[in-house]
Amino acid sequence: MLPTLNGRLQTRIFMLVVFGGIITFLITPVLPDGAPGVPGFDGTFYRITYVILATVLVLGILWELLYHLIQQFRWEKDWPTMFGLITILNEGALVWLLLELGLVPGMPDGFYDYDLPSSFFWAFFVDFTVIWIVIWLWTNGPMRVPLVKWRFFGGRIV
Amino acid sequence: MIEPTAASVVPTTDPSTYLPAQPMPVGDLTEQMLATDFWTDELVAAAGIPIVDVPFVTVGSGIGSFVTVDYLRIAGVPTSQMRVLGTLDHPWQTYEYLTRVSQIPRTERLRSDSASRPDNIWGFPSYGLAEGIRHFDLKVLWGLFTEPIFSDYYTPKAGAAFEGMEREKNRIGYDEMLVKGLVRIVRRRYGGGYFTILTPPEGASATKRVAFRSQYVHLAVGYPGLKFLPELQRYRTEHNDYRHIVNAYESHEHVYERLMQQPSTVMVRGGGIVAARVLQRLMDDRLLRGAQTNIVHLFRTYYHGPNDGYGNDEDPRPGGGKTRIFMRRRGENGWAYQGFNYPKSVWGGQLKKQVRGLEGEQRAELYKRMGGTNTPWRKLWQKQMNQGRREGWYRCVVGTVDDMQPNGERIVNHVRTAQGVVPIEVDFVIDCTGLEADIAEHRLLKDLLEHGGASRNPSGRLNVDRNFELIGTRSGNGAMYASGATTLGGYFPGVDTFLGLQVAAQEIYLDLNKRKFCKRIGPVRSTIQWWKWLFGSKP
């Protein structure tokens, strides 16, 4: 990837809204809920997963500013493929920390009343990882197929 | 001659017995045409030059022409609307020659990015992904994932690039568009558009020249030529010695053959990718095949640490002082290290955007800062060089050559170094400096500068706009574009590369789309066309 700052932000928003939105819709019903047997499903789960997605998006814009700064130290002004994947660690950890501290707004009533159960950690882990990897794979190749200008304009979509 | 006294007349084919030729148009350029900047249809017709009408011609028939017509074919232009004019049988012909003699045969790897595919406008799947999946090569895939941090940049094999282009050439019906011949001149047409004058091969047409009347012209004629260093050229001509002093871009296999037979010393000049490839060949021959070659490597600039296009930290640069913390690259042992021939983001990221917004001197300054001869750091090659330094058969000298004198079969180079002039006697000199000739050395370009309205950019090459239209050459509703090495120094760096040609082709396509010559490659068309590419069906 050879992103410009504008391209980074556009790609981030596009990917999270489109792929994040679709995958969240599909994956939420099958995330582990801690109950025995087939995962059950509750409409409030959607609220939780979409709030997390929105959190990743908002924080991601700040992260992109930092990544852009780091990129300035690179002579090539590129963003190696690997960086796009390993940033899952810092971004995932921050979101989880904010959840632990009860600082993510918009969660259903009572969400922060007790300690978060371990099943919720695994639900978060699966949700976050799947979305991240799909977006990473798509950004590093297939995205160039529908949008033939995207790669030559720093990842800008418009 | 027929004998007048002979009783019978035997028919003869001797041309001297023919009636004198009638004065008729021979179909060649006239003095009047050469002196006229805008040609009328009548002027061309009066010279007896047949006129072929086609909306779009591309001149060159190399990879630049190929990539451009590929884009336009995918944008829905039929083969009947375009002609490719040039002397090459297939687009990669010159490129393959140059890479082969400069020690990159088909089985070796180019210095080119994985996603720079002249046969695929999307760059997906990249060469690396295709190679990794086809041969289920986890090492290649791991390399793609970790490059350039934990592994060298993936680079495709030359053969893979040529085979891909052959497949794409057949898919888009390239041969239907190819008209062979040498393009002599392009002039603006009175009333709009252009005349492109082609000299077909002997016997291919009834007239000496053929004129192509088109609304659009695209020029991709490649390097105007390669120059020798002046002292090398002087030595070659004065001593009539073309065997011991060679340019890396000319065929010089005889040097390697001699080195296998006889222990010799070779001087390599230059610090770029070609020098690196030639050194690797010399080292491979020594380490794997038993040659006893000693190598003297002459650098003009010796990099020993962080650097930029102005040189090492202590070298003078505008504003003075060291390299900028945000703009410096690695260097050591004489070399400046960089993956490709420009910092990678010139092909689509920050530097592309930045240069696009700069004019004149500011642009030239940034070119200078990110320029300078450089080469990729490659693991295997580093190992060989370290061994050579340790064992003393690879030595570096820093300086310039004042004079060269023959000494029997050998050549004495008087090298001016920081410590004074040092004589260095060698058996061969391989020039890897890759000096390029001026664009005016190319007859077609010279004519465009003198009669076509074209001008030079701050780097002395053809001045093209952001959409690669050749500034000053517009003719009525027609437009002329140029891409490739002749346009270096413009709003987009990296023009003389696979990806650079594609960036240019995209800009040209976008401009031609505005002019309603081709369709838009929107998400739907793009995706459908990609599937067609994948299955090898016609666009």
Report if residue A64 sits inside a domain. yes
Alpha carbon dihedral B90, B91, B95, B100, in 10-degree steps, equals -30
- What is the number of residues in chain A? 158
Count chain A–chain B contacts defined by CB atoms under 8 A.
Answer: 93
Mean pLDDT for A91-113 is 92
Report if residue A123 sits inside a domain. yes
Give burial (CB, 10 Å; 0-12/13-18/19+) of B26: middle
Is the CB of residue B121 less than 8 Å away from at least one CB of chain A?
A: yes
Per-residue pLDDT tens over the stretch A4-53: 999 999 999 999 999 999 999 999 988 887 665 555 566 788 999 999 99
Contact B454, B194 (CB under 8 A): no
Is the CB of residue B122 less than 8 Å away from at least one CB of chain A?
A: yes
pLDDT at position A43: 75
Residues of A in contact with B521 (CB under 8 A): 148
Distances (CA, A) of B174 to B63, B165, B216, B445: 12, 11, 18, 25
Contact B76, B532 (CB under 8 A): no
Measure CB to CB from residue A80 to each of B122, B149, B327 and give the nearest one.
B149
Report if residue A58 sits inside a domain. yes
* Spatial distance between the Cα atoms of B410 and B29, rounded to a whole number of angstroms: 49
On the question of pLDDT at B4 being above 60, the answer is: no
Beta bridge partners of B336: B331
Mean pLDDT for B239-268 is 94
Per-residue pLDDT tens over the stretch B339-375: 998 999 999 999 999 999 999 889 999 999 999 899 9
Is the CB of residue B211 less than 8 Å away from at least one CB of chain A?
A: no
Domain with A108 in it: 5-152
Report if residue A146 sits inside a domain. yes
pLDDT at position A39: 53
Report if residue A11 sits inside a domain. yes
Report if residue A157 sits inside a domain. no
Nearest chain B residue to A136 by CA distance is B145
Q: Of B276, B277, B342, which Cα lies nearest the Cα of B309?
A: B342
On the question of pLDDT at B7 being above 50, the answer is: no
* Chain A nearest CA to B325, separation (Å): 7
**Can you read off the two tokens belonging to residue B435?**
């000096």
- By mean pLDDT, which of A36-50, B229-243, B253-267, B497-511 is the weakest? A36-50
Q: Mutating which of A71, A72, A75 best tests the B interface, going by the most B Cβ atoms within 10 A?
A: A75
Per-residue pLDDT tens over the stretch B113-135: 999 999 999 999 999 999 999 99
Say how many C-beta atoms besides its own lie within 10 A of residue B383's C-beta.
Answer: 12
Contact B380, B340 (CB under 8 A): no
Q: Of B170, B214, B175, which Cα lies nearest the Cα of B192?
A: B214
Per-residue pLDDT tens over the stretch B428-470: 999 998 878 899 999 999 999 999 999 999 889 999 999 999 9
Report if residue A158 sits inside a domain. no
On the question of a cis peptide bond just before residue B105, with omega within 30 degrees of 0, the verdict is no
Number of domains forming the structure of chain A: 1
pLDDT at position B121: 97
Residues of A in contact with B483 (CB under 8 A): none
Is the CB of residue A71 less than 8 Å away from at least one CB of chain B?
A: yes
- What is the number of residues in chain B? 539
Mean pLDDT for B238-257 is 93
Q: What is the pTM of this model?
A: 0.92
Mean pLDDT for B497-520 is 97
Element (DSSP H or E) covering residue B258: helix B253-261
Per-residue pLDDT tens over the stretch B170-224: 999 999 999 999 999 999 999 999 999 999 998 888 899 999 999 999 999 998 8
